[in-house]
Amino acid sequence: MRLALALSIAALLAVFLLYTSIAGGGTPSLRPSQLLVDTHEGKRVTLSGKVIGTVRGDAQAGGLRFRLRDVKGTGSVPVVYRGSVPDMFRTGRDISVDGHLRSGTFIGVKNTLVTKCPSKYSSKK
């Protein structure tokens, strides 16, 4: 009897863990064009794209300001980010950053900026 009860509780916990890991725990990953089209105002998302234009400001004081564009597309959004910046960060680099959209500007969460390695995503010749 005790074994059956213990196995039932373990199975119930396993189902709950599986449900939360698949359905309930993720942050949506979007491109700039999707962020502007969908209704994501104020919701936390992961934004991925290519840094374009001039990078201005300071990541620690008033915030680093730049535009993020779809890797293969034309949609772009202004970004303000405060926190640590990877050495590989620069114009033309593909990045990913967590944050939320506020009044048409993407506000990055501190220390979530990650650069993507271009050699990892390019085709082999």
Question: Over its length of 125 residues, how does the chain's per-residue pLDDT go in tens digits?
Answer: 889 999 999 999 998 887 776 765 567 888 998 886 667 777 889 999 999 999 998 887 888 999 999 988 888 999 999 999 888 899 999 999 999 998 889 999 999 999 987 655 555 55
- Tell me, what's the pLDDT at 8? 93
On whether the pTM is more than 0.85, the answer is no
Helix or strand (DSSP H, E) at 99: strand 94-102
- Tell me, what's the pLDDT at 42? 77
- Tell me, what's the pLDDT at 81? 95
Q: How large is the greatest C-alpha to C-alpha distance in the chain, in angstroms? A: 69
User: How is domain 29-118 classified at the architecture level of CATH?
Assistant: Beta Barrel (2.40)
d(CA 67, CA 52): 6
User: Going by C-beta distance under 8 Å and a sequence separation of 6 or more, which residues neighbour residue 62?
Assistant: none
Angle ∠(41,96,50) on CA atoms, nearest 5: 95
- Tell me, what's the pLDDT at 112? 92
Pure H helices in the chain: 2-19, 32-37, 118-121
- Tell me, what's the pLDDT at 50? 94
- Tell me, what's the pLDDT at 72? 86
Nearest to 97 by CA among 110, 86, 111, 113: 113
User: Going by C-beta distance under 8 Å and a sequence separation of 6 or more, which residues neighbour residue 103?
Assistant: none
User: Going by C-beta distance under 8 Å and a sequence separation of 6 or more, which residues neighbour residue 100?
Assistant: 40, 41, 42, 43, 44, 45, 106, 107
